[in-house]
């Protein structure tokens, strides 16, 4: 269960990492939106492994095929099914893992929950499942851009101990983000991040990092006030990502150290609307967008799969040493998670947009 996300704009995800393919069904996209594979493929390409020396060598083409819901280049209002076939499945590589659960992986919890050990690569726990999110998110993003002019841009703001300066008000674009393979638009930080990742790779280790996301031009009035605050829905989406360990909004965890007089965003008149002089609220007040950019960060742990030997226990509780000499391995997934964060943000906002239409707001 739990493979559907959203209320009015809904994504259902399916597919195992080493089965026939990964798919998504988008239900609730309004009719008449121009849509083709070309709207989806670029974000899939950004998520794909093997883009640079920084990432795993698994070389999937990840070509998406629209199976339904689009006719003559426009959405029909019916479910949009998207399929990305798995081209490069090598389940045998993973076979040796089955007697012992991989540390900090989902092997053990899946075994308890389902009574089966996935035959390969983590099944649904694999990062490959995010293909469905990126594909569905691209549809959401198209809707948001065409209808409301919403722009969603994420980037890597920290890797291991390298922290980029705050760029949330710097007008970062995806082109700027993609200028380095580590997807940090601050050149000096990017350089040091790349070095940190390279060091980890050489040592058979992995590193974590942080992604910052900014959503611009979201109209004031989106989001619901109690359980379905925009902060809550975005947090739900982000914390459903593999390896995500934390999320915060606007001033975030730093807000806990502040005084109210320093934290409050004072209102000022902006062109044609009421705005705020600062944006410590991260564009969301009382769970509802206020017209300022929505800003949040997601922290990712270092990936659990490393080459270094680890002393752990097998399913019978016997001590074993786990050491991987084969198989693909990505020392830092954070750069590839950038389009995934953007996709989940788009899914949440498209849902909130339709919800606002239902109740006649979004002013």
By CB under 8 A, the residues from 193 to 252 that bind its own copies are 200, 205-210, 220-221, 223-229, 231-240, 242, 244-252
Q: Smallest gap, in angstroms, from Cβ of residue 168 to its own copies? A: 15
Buried b (16+ CB within 10 A) or exposed e, 163-193: ebeebbeeebebebbeebbbbbbbeebbebb
Q: Smallest gap, in angstroms, from Cβ of residue 186 to its own copies? A: 16
When asked if residue 287 is in the footprint of its own copies (CB under 8 A), the reply is yes
Q: Footprint of its own copies on residues 129-158 (CB under 8 A)?
A: 129, 158
When asked if residue 165 is in the footprint of its own copies (CB under 8 A), the reply is no
Question: Which lies closer to its own copies via its Cβ, residue 49 or residue 101?
Answer: 101
Question: Which lies closer to its own copies via its Cβ, residue 185 or residue 282?
Answer: 282
Rounded distance between C-alpha atoms, residue 181 and residue 145, angstroms: 26
Number of amino acids touching its own copies (CB under 8 A)? 151
Q: Footprint of its own copies on residues 296-355 (CB under 8 A)?
A: 299-306, 308, 310-315, 317-318, 354-355
Q: Smallest gap, in angstroms, from Cβ of residue 112 to its own copies? A: 4
Q: Footprint of its own copies on residues 2-41 (CB under 8 A)?
A: 2-5, 7-8, 10, 12-16, 19-21, 23, 25, 27-28, 30-32
Q: Smallest gap, in angstroms, from Cβ of residue 91 to its own copies? A: 10
- Compute the CA torsion angle 144, 233, 40, 155 (nearest 10 deg): 100
Rounded distance between C-alpha atoms, residue 154 and residue 244, angstroms: 15
Rounded distance between C-alpha atoms, residue 246 and residue 231, angstroms: 13
DSSP assignment letter at 34? B
Closest to 341 measured CA to CA, from 179, 63, 155: 155
How many Cβ atoms are within 10 Å of 33's Cβ, its own excluded? 19
Q: Smallest gap, in angstroms, from Cβ of residue 175 to its own copies? A: 25
Among 103, 181, 195, 327, binds its own copies (CB under 8 A): 103
DSSP assignment letter at 331? S
Question: Which lies closer to its own copies via its Cβ, residue 185 or residue 223?
Answer: 223
Question: Which lies closer to its own copies via its Cβ, residue 115 or residue 175?
Answer: 115
Rounded distance between C-alpha atoms, residue 94 and residue 355, angstroms: 43
Q: Are 345 and 234 in contact (CB under 8 A)?
A: yes
Q: Are 242 and 319 in contact (CB under 8 A)?
A: no
Question: Which lies closer to its own copies via its Cβ, residue 71 or residue 171?
Answer: 71
Rounded distance between C-alpha atoms, residue 81 and residue 76, angstroms: 12
Question: Which lies closer to its own copies via its Cβ, residue 175 or residue 338?
Answer: 338
Q: Footprint of its own copies on residues 71-90 (CB under 8 A)?
A: 71-72, 74, 76-81, 83
Question: Which lies closer to its own copies via its Cβ, residue 165 or residue 260?
Answer: 260
Q: Footprint of its own copies on residues 260-279 (CB under 8 A)?
A: 260-261, 263-269, 274, 276
Rounded distance between C-alpha atoms, residue 114 and residue 189, angstroms: 43
Among 288, 294, 340, 343, binds its own copies (CB under 8 A): 288
Question: Which lies closer to its own copies via its Cβ, residue 8 or residue 45?
Answer: 8
Closest to 332 measured CA to CA, from 55, 106, 46: 55
Q: Are 354 and 28 in contact (CB under 8 A)?
A: yes
Rounded distance between C-alpha atoms, residue 304 and residue 312, angstroms: 13
Among 108, 145, 179, 195, binds its own copies (CB under 8 A): 108
Question: Which lies closer to its own copies via its Cβ, residue 175 or residue 202?
Answer: 202
């Amino acid at each position: 269960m739990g493979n559907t996300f959203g209320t009015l704009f809904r994504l259902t995800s399916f597919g195992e990492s080493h089965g026939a393919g990964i798919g998504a069904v988008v239900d609730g996209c309004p009719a008449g939106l121009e849509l083709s594979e070309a709207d989806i493929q670029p974000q899939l390409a950004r998520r794909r492994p093997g883009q640079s020396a920084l990432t795993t060598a698994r070389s999937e083409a990840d070509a998406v095929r629209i199976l339904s819901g689009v006719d003559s280049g426009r959405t029909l209002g019916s479910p949009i099914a998207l399929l990305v076939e798995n081209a490069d499945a090598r389940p045998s590589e993973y076979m040796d893992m089955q007697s012992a659960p991989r540390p900090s992986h989902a092997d053990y919890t899946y075994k308890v929950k389902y009574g089966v050990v996935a035959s390969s690569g983590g099944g649904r726990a694999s990062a490959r499942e995010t293909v469905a999110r990126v594909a569905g998110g691209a549809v959401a993003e198209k809707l948001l851009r065409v209808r409301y002019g919403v722009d969603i841009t994420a980037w890597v703001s920290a890797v291991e101990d390298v922290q980029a300066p705050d760029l949330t008000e710097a007008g970062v674009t995806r082109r700027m983000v993609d200028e380095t393979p580590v997807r940090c638009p601050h050149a000096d930080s990017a350089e040091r991040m790349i070095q940190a990742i390279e060091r980890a790779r050489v040592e058979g280790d992995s590193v974590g990092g942080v992604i910052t996301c900014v959503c611009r031009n979201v109209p004031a009035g989106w989001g619901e006030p109690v359980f379905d605050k925009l902060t809550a829905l975005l947090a739900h989406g982000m914390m459903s990502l593999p390896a995500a360990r934390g999320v915060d909004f606007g001033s975030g965890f730093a807000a806990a150290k502040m005084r109210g007089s320093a934290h409050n965003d004072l209102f000022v008149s902006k062109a044609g609307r009421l705005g705020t002089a600062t944006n410590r609220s991260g564009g969301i007040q009382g769970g509802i967008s206020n017209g300022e950019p929505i800003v949040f960060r997601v922290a990712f742990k270092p990936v659990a799969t490393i080459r270094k030997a680890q002393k752990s226990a097998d399913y019978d509780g016997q001590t074993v040493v786990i050491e991987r000499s084969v198989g693909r391995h990505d020392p830092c997934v954070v750069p590839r998670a950038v389009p995934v964060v953007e996709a989940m943000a788009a899914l949440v906002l498209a849902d909130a947009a339709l919800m606002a239409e239902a109740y006649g707001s979004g002013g």
